[in-house]
Amino acid sequence: MPKINLKKDDLKKISSAVKDAESKTSGEIATAIIKESYNYAVYELLFAVTVGFIYFVVMMFFVGSIENRLQSLFWDYHIGYLLIFYGFSTFLVIALFYFLGNISTIDRLIVSKKIKWQKVKERALRQFMESGVYNTKDRTGILIFISILEKRVELLADSGINEKIPQEKWQSIVDNIIKGIKKKNVTSYLIESINECGELLAQHFPIQPGDVNELTDEINILEK
């Protein structure tokens, strides 16, 4: 399982960066980070069962040797011993590879990029709704959503922003955060990107008299 290595000082720096960025614009910036956007258990189990099936098929070619070995070990040998060996050993192989499938490095290999990216997008959209980014006064909220396991970032902008700023403008900001994830330095790169978002928003949505902070400046650390 990947870890979110954000200390109290990191959280304060991120919150301060959001506050500073929003001081120049009427737009709202929300941030969220999660260890993984989906538990992928069904894919890990499918991987383990597939390996177990391959093991079973391969071992069938050695049934004679295995039976001879069992006969030498047990005086009261019965065909049931062979069935127990195959059943139990296949179960162990499945259990072992299911455990291995939960290791982040292997998880990234057994689940396709397409599936991972889709799960991150779905989780980001859910956070976009749950955090209230979609419901700011002028529809000028953006969400920076970071998923560590998938090394994926989604930047979602509300309709008021999308009318003036095309999605392509955000790509360099997203790429910068991804670089930070890969370098295991999320905080510094995220702060840089928050500042860039603030400057971009300020160009189209300058601060207005009586502007109210509608969303929290703190990063949301999500469990699931």
Confidence of residue 74 (pLDDT cuts 50, 70, 90): confident
> What's the chain's average pLDDT?
91
- Pairing between strand 28-34 and 220-222? parallel
Whole-number pLDDT of residue 163: 84
Comparing CA positions, the residue from 114, 79, 127, 95 lying closest to residue 223 is 127
Contact predicate 176/189, CB 8 Å: yes
> Mean pLDDT over residues 3-17, rounded?
89
How is the chain split into domains, by residue range? 8-38+112-222, 41-110
CATH of domain 8-38+112-222: 3.10.310.50
Whole-number pLDDT of residue 44: 93
- The CA distance from 160 to 182, in Å, is 32
- Give percent of the chain above pLDDT 70: 99
- Give percent of the chain above pLDDT 90: 66
Is the pLDDT at 3 greater than 80? The verdict is: no
Comparing CA positions, the residue from 186, 132, 117, 150 lying closest to residue 142 is 132
